[in-house]
Chains A and B, each alone.
Chain A
Amino acid sequence: GQNIDQPTEMTATEGAIVQINCTYQTSGFNGLFWYQQHAGEAPTFLSYNVLDGLEEKGRFSSFLSRSKGYSYLLLKELQMKDSASYLCAVMDSNYQLIWGAGTKLIIKP
């Protein structure tokens, strides 16, 4: 079967760095997405990785290792507004998105 695993919840301190991991097993691979979802809102796109390596975009970076079926989202200089759920999703060989359950990130002052 296909599955995406990511931690249910993480806590970090304002100004610090946090890494949210995602491992996946899917039938085929056409890219991995990270989305941010604030409570009661729809997800918003953060990043897309299809090749191995690190993609940096401001305070957020996303890493992919296809051989390991592994990705992480790195958030630097955490701000209170970063408190949200972070969803990992993989596009399989049928171009369907397989979604992880999301990681709820709690930022403390």
Chain B
Amino acid sequence: GAVVSQHPSRVICKSGTSVKIECRSLDFQATTMFWYRQFPKQSLMLMATSNEGSKATYEQGVEKDKFLINHASLTLSTLTVTSAHPEDSSFYICSAFVPGQGAGETQYFGPGTRLLVL
């Protein structure tokens, strides 16, 4: 099946630093990727939709200047958490729809990145 990878899987950083998370589609081209955040015992929260070659679309309440998204190619999207603070500690997950899956397009998730800001 389709594979989406994320790097790093886990990161610990000091407050005030920036962290970059990469999301790659390994065996298909993804014009659109999605970035989610999930706090413990809560559901996935869509942060933004990353579009190849254009600006990302952010959900209400998500600061676009804090969460920088770049979708430079059809296989790579990056999320940069700028000036991270402890409240940004969370599980960040990217995903992409795989077109032409027959009975409905399915969304495949990366393995997620656990961010801990000290």
Contact = CB atoms under 8 A, between A and B. Distances in A.
A96 B34 CA distance: 10
- Chain A interface size range: 10 to 19
A29 interface: no
Contact of B110 (A42, A50, A100): A42
A70 interface: no
Contact of B109 (A43, A50, A101): A43
Interface string A78-109: 00000000010000000011011110000000
Contacts of B103: 48, 50
Given A42-B93, A42-B112, A97 B107 contact: yes
A25 to B, nearest CB: 16
Nearest to B106: A45
A101 B107 CA distance: 18
Contacts of B42: 101
A11 interface: no
A42 B111 contact: yes
A33 interface: yes
A31 interface: yes
A48 B104 CA distance: 7
Contact of A97 (B46, B91, B93, B104): B46
A44 interface: yes
A5 to B, nearest CB: 12
Interface of A: 31, 33, 40-45, 48, 50, 87, 96-97, 99-102
Interface of B: 34, 42-46, 91, 93, 103-104, 106-112, 114
27 contacts: A31-B104, A33-B106, A33-B107, A40-B91, A40-B114, A41-B111, A41-B112, A42-B110, A42-B111, A42-B112, A43-B44, A43-B93, A43-B109, A45-B108, A48-B106, A50-B103, A50-B104, A87-B44, A96-B46, A97-B34, A97-B107, A99-B44, A99-B45, A100-B43, A101-B42, A101-B43, A102-B43
